[in-house]
């Protein structure tokens, strides 16, 4: 809500309030928005991810059937 009390006339104050409101809206529309700055994962998170992948690989490897192939001549 905008209130302007620069003049004794109600109509002039209302018009000034509308002008101020429109200028604030125009300023808000013209501002460029900031792009998100990409960040790198931390060392701890990289290590945690690597350990998880290692465990997962071992789990999958343990499910695999071990077939022993023998050479016949």
In this model, does residue 17 exceed pLDDT 70? yes
Band of residue 73 on the pLDDT scale cut at 50, 70, 90 = low
pLDDT (average), residues 18-22 = 92
Give the global pTM: 0.41
Whether 11 contacts 29, CB under 8 Å: no
pLDDT tens by residue, 50-66: 999 999 999 998 887 77
Q: How many CB atoms lie within 10 A of CB 21?
A: 13
- Alpha-carbon span 25 to 37, nearest angstrom: 27
- Alpha-carbon span 1 to 21, nearest angstrom: 9
Long-range contacts of 15-18 (CB under 8 A, 24+ apart): none
């Amino acid at each position: 809500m905008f209130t302007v009390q620069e003049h004794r006339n109600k109509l002039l104050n209302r018009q000034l309030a509308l002008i101020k409101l429109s200028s604030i809206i125009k300023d808000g529309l013209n501002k460029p928005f900031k792009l998100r700055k990409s960040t790198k994962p931390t060392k701890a998170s990289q290590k945690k991810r690597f350990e998880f992948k290692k465990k997962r690989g071992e789990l999958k490897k343990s499910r695999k059937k071990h077939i022993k192939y023998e050479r016949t001549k």
